[in-house]
Amino acid sequence: MSEQANLASLVRGPAALTPDRTALIDGGRRLTWAELDGAIDHVAGGLRELGLHPGDRVALLLGNSIEFVVGYFAILRAGLVAVPMNPAYTVAEVAVLLTDSGARLLLVDPTTGAVGTEVVEAIASCDIVDVSSDAWRRLLAARPFAPGDEVAAPNGLALLLFTAGTSGRPKGAMLSHAALLANIDMLRSVKEPAAVLESDTVLVVLPLFHVYGLNTALGLAVSAGATCVIIDRFDPVESLRLIVDEGVTTVAGAPAMYRAWCRVPSAREAFRDVRLLSCGGSPLPVSVFEEFGELTGTPVFEGYGMTETAPVVSTTLVSGVAKAGSVGRPLPGVEVRLVDDSGQDVDDGDAGEVWVRGASVFTGYWPAGLGGPDAEGWFRSGDVAFADAEGDLHLVDRRREVILVNGFNVYPREIELAIEGLAGVVEVAVVGVPDDATGEAVSAIVVTADGAGPTRHEIAAHCATRLARFKCPSSIRIVDALPHSATGKIAKGRLREVYGEQ
């Protein structure tokens, strides 16, 4: 695979081999592979006509849709860098990402247009296009790219995926075309069962602003020429109807989805003809794994990965045996070490930090590439796991302090900074608490000034204007004091001891 290979070239294959086969289904709309490839060519040409040059960043503030798919691959085909963003982000959050990425264009849809417009009005260097507008239709009518025109960005960069840093400032993981293509190739090398087949119809319900949905669901499906059924909002009953009506054969999901499906009596019948079910984003509880299996008779293959590894590191697909509580073995081409605090490999059966090496590992954080793999190519994940006697990995801990809400990383410091900005707040600690619906939920424990501090309602309202909904605390507790270490740092390890699990 060439270092200059362009991920958007994946669309060329099925467009040439099966031009009339359906590529995308989005509600009542359908695009064939030839139509999808043509739309990508036109928009790629239109983006260049706007004066964008290879390496420029284009942000997408879009829900799952045909327009997201066309826009994403057009950005890459034109040699630009895609910056997907959660469409639930607030004005403040979008402003930070546009500023840090230096994006020159923002794509929005009717649901995100107001937020995008408010941000762009304050950033003179960034333009905006609504994918429901005449401006988008002009891009679709622009002079198209021709096969062979597409090039990767000068540094091979394809994606900037921002996640909140532990300091509260988002960090942009830089993923190259080569890394994304490598992870797809690794997954396709797994044969029993195959991760994807040309004959598959794939449910794309995972959010496309997240690397799991973007590369493991969409990218993998496109690489095989499989049909994609796009859903923007997960509803357990409606998704099951689509699985039946559209003949879905492959589902990539998250734990909350499988938990919700367990409550729908028609699930067994709906999954009868589904060939492959997979799960990632956060650990699948053993109880859900077992309940879903008993209900449907269909096993769920679980995997582990992260944004920085494009994303899959390991999966039970490698052994072909779905195992409760395990995230399987490393993909072919991925090396994993389990390392202790002294930097040595742990003894068999012991837990250690997961270090990853392979062609799918990112190149570091934007813009300078800091925090990437070391000189020998190893990336230290911060996650802790052990390998069982059969060589299958089991996660036992996650990155320090991170909260996983429906599989999305929520860093406590970002929420703490938001709450600390409210007058009358003396001190705040944010932690994750167990939640049956989302895996974990955000809990804030706040110390306020005597007689002058905000109420719980005021804190919640303040957060709602500054943070995406999934980051907002689901519980807020006002207390007299927080436990501290000898050095004066809040002792988060003692919060549950002092205040209990909730």
Backbone torsions φ then ψ of 257, nearest 5 degrees: -65, -50
> Is residue 2 pLDDT above 70, yes or no?
no
The string of pLDDT tens digits covering residues 204-243 is 999 999 999 999 999 999 999 999 999 999 999 999 999 9
On the question of a cis peptide bond just before residue 434, with omega within 30 degrees of 0, the verdict is no
Task: Return the higher-pLDDT residue of 468 and 489.
Answer: 468
The secondary structure element, H or E, covering residue 68 is helix 66-77
* Three-state DSSP state, 303: strand
- Please give the C-alpha separations between residue 303 and each of 254, 255, 292, 330, in angstroms, as whole numbers: 10, 11, 17, 9
Q: What percent of the chain has pLDDT over 90?
A: 78
The string of pLDDT tens digits covering residues 247-256 is 999 999 998 8
The DSSP bridge pattern shows strands 379-387 and 393-397 to be: antiparallel
The string of pLDDT tens digits covering residues 181-196 is 999 999 999 999 999 9
pLDDT bucket at 1, cuts 50 / 70 / 90: very low
Strands (DSSP E) along 98-155, which ranges?
Answer: 105-108, 127-130
On the question of a cis peptide bond just before residue 193, with omega within 30 degrees of 0, the verdict is yes
* Three-state DSSP state, 279: strand
Q: How many CB atoms lie within 10 A of CB 243?
A: 23
pTM (predicted TM-score): 0.86
Mind listing the domains of the chain with CATH numbers? 403-499 (3.30.300.30)
The string of pLDDT tens digits covering residues 380-413 is 998 888 999 999 999 876 656 778 899 887 878 8
